[in-house]
Chain A
Amino acid sequence: MTTADPSGTFVQKPKTIAALKEGIASGSVKAADLTASYYERIAAVNPQLNVYLSLTKERAVEQAARIDALAAKGDPLPALAGIPVGIKDVLVVKGAPATAGSKILKGYEPPYDATSVTKLEAAGAVLLGKINCDEFAMGSSNENSAYGPVRNPVDPERVPGGSSGGSAAAVAADMAVATLGTDTGGSIRQPASFCGVVGVLPTYGRVSRYGLIAFASSLDRVGPFAANVRDAATLLGVLAGHDTKDATSSPAPVEDYAAESDKGAEGLRIGVPAEYFSDGLDPEVRAAIEKGIEDLKAAGCTVKSISLPHTKYAIPTYYLVATAEASANLARFDGVRYGYRSAASENLAAMYKHSRDEGFGPEVKRRILLGTYALSAGYYDAYYLKAQQVRRLLAEEFLRAFTEVDAIVTPTSPVPPFKLGEKTGDPLAMYLADIYTVTASLAGICGVTVPCGSTSSGLPVGMQVLASHLRESTAFRVARAVEAAQK
């Protein structure tokens, strides 16, 4: 493997899961060699991109040996046999440091695996390591990590998006064939768009969150990144399903998403909401998405304009709901049971305060304060309750739209990837980066970001394909059609 592609960036497309699995089954590829080659690739480019925070080599080597032994016996191989994957560091892996991008979890090595991690490994995947992200998944650029920003493989002067920026960058730079990310307000879809890869927001409850370090529990979701739509669908098929350890996980049957995605998009009804193509949209992003919509017509979809008039209220609603829930979830970091405890702890109250003050970064503190304020006596009705009422209006608006169309397509981000430092001074400007993604988060519906053209300077543009609750197969079919039309 080379360290950079001919255009001078770090971009390199991983082989497909199907091709790698066939190689492993036939014996032409050894899982052990594949694993070793991925660790070489990581060693070569991680110093520049800052994607991996820790590696799980021992576990990876053992799993690869297990897969090679299976293949040598000629036994049937599981869905992800030998596939090297990376895990966003808000999901726990037994014995591996879990940081959530924060100093407050320093030294924490959880004694258990997240369900999503267990499922990947049971399906034969090889866990390479833990991947950098914004602190507690709060951010849209990866610049909020206590361990330094991840850089975008397409242009290292630019951000990879956030908060799962490392997970998107890993796939874009072939530092993993696939990765896990999490999405609370856009944290899978926006970095997928910025790095030119596929990212999946499953329906709320579709993938277990057991072992996820919680940010906002009514919004948090776990989902995969991959280099192509079919691989992403294969991964979701492994990850989805009910889990007795997550009371919010859905008992609805899991579809064969990969096979469903092969059915083509012909005859599907696509809605294009005017509100997502307003003044703030970069003209080059608009042109790329409009071209993608033409491609969908050519693939046999019917396209109609729709209106989602409450869209403009989504960001204020999201930042009230998410920060309120975060202020409650992050109360557990108190220096008692795990992670960091301040040395300046003359009594219990001081220990809580100093540990939290020294352990949390500025954005996390800002959100805890905003959330605590919105929930505090005298303000609860005006802020938190109001936001939950508007949340219902937003969700019902989507459900109405989905009686007329099968999927909705929009730009994932109003702008192409921006430069490091460009928005760090203005929290509100950073929040607006999520303007097209928070709506689906609040409504609980599913979506996929699929690469859809680029700007004149070669920066990736992503299309967001949204579908109703549990209609992941529909989103994949549309995304496959957009992908097929790319050069």
Chain B
Amino acid sequence: MTAKVTAKEVERVAELAHLELTAEEIPAMVHDLNAILDYVAELNELDTKGVAPLAQVSELKGAGGAAELREDAQIPSLDRAAVMPEAPESDGRFFKVPKVIER
């Protein structure tokens, strides 16, 4: 957990997250991520062997989590005519995006 993040790794993670960092942003992110990761390394002090991960608190006893799934029925969703105009580019039926495949 004490692994130091390098500029190369920041670039790789940025790629995964579809972010393009500028040359000035990269060293700042390397610095900040290392500072934060050093801090979170404190968790290593705790022995968590055998502790089940808690992803959602609703599963705890008495926390009021949903008792049953809703009925599997068709319910109308938002009207396409109201949704499509919010897109940067659309023909009213489909979202338009730049070319995906070069040929």
Contact = CB atoms under 8 A, between A and B. Distances in A.
State yes or no: do A and B come from one complex: yes
B42 A316 contact: yes
Contact of B43 (A206, A247, A250, A316): A316
B93 interface: no
A385 B53 contact: yes
A335 B95 CA distance: 10
A2 to B, nearest CB: 41
Interface stretch (A48-56, A276-284, A390-398): A390-398
A468 interface: yes
Interface in A301-333: 310, 312-313, 315-317, 319-320, 327, 331
B58 A204 contact: yes
Contacts of B70: 244, 247
Given A336-B97, A351-B98, A368 B62 contact: no
Nearest to A334: B18
Main SS class of interface, A: helix
Nearest to B102: A347
Contacts of B14: 369
A389 interface: yes
B58 A248 contact: yes
Nearest to B28: A362
Contacts, number: 196
A346 interface: yes
A368 B10 CA distance: 11
B51 to A, nearest CB: 4
A296 B42 CA distance: 36
B35 A112 contact: no
Contacts of A431: 36
Interface in A336-382: 336-341, 345-354, 356-357, 360, 362, 365-366, 368-370, 372-373, 376, 379, 382
Contact of B13 (A331, A346, A357, A376): A376
Nearest to B89: A341
Main SS class of interface, B: loop
A226 B83 CA distance: 34
B54 to A, nearest CB: 4
Contacts of A357: 19-22
Contacts of A249: 66
A386 B40 CA distance: 10
B8 interface: no
A387 B54 CA distance: 9
Contacts of B23: none
A425 to B, nearest CB: 11
How many residues of A sit at the interface, in one of the four size bands?
A: 35 or more
A129 interface: no
Nearest to B86: A338
Nearest to A323: B36
A194 interface: no
Contacts of A372: 13, 16-17
A138 to B, nearest CB: 13
Interface of B: 1, 3, 5, 9-10, 13-14, 16-22, 25, 29, 32-33, 35-37, 39-44, 46, 48, 51-58, 60-67, 70, 75, 78-79, 82-83, 86-89, 95, 97-100, 102
Interface of A: 108-112, 203-206, 218, 242, 244, 247-252, 310, 312-313, 315-317, 319-320, 327, 331, 334-341, 345-354, 356-357, 360, 362, 365-366, 368-370, 372-373, 376, 379, 382-383, 385-393, 395, 399, 427-428, 431, 442-444, 468-470
Given A205-B66, A431-B36, 14 more contacts: A205-B58, A248-B58, A249-B66, A313-B43, A347-B99, A369-B29, A370-B33, A390-B46, A390-B48, A393-B51, A399-B62, A444-B60, A469-B62, A469-B64
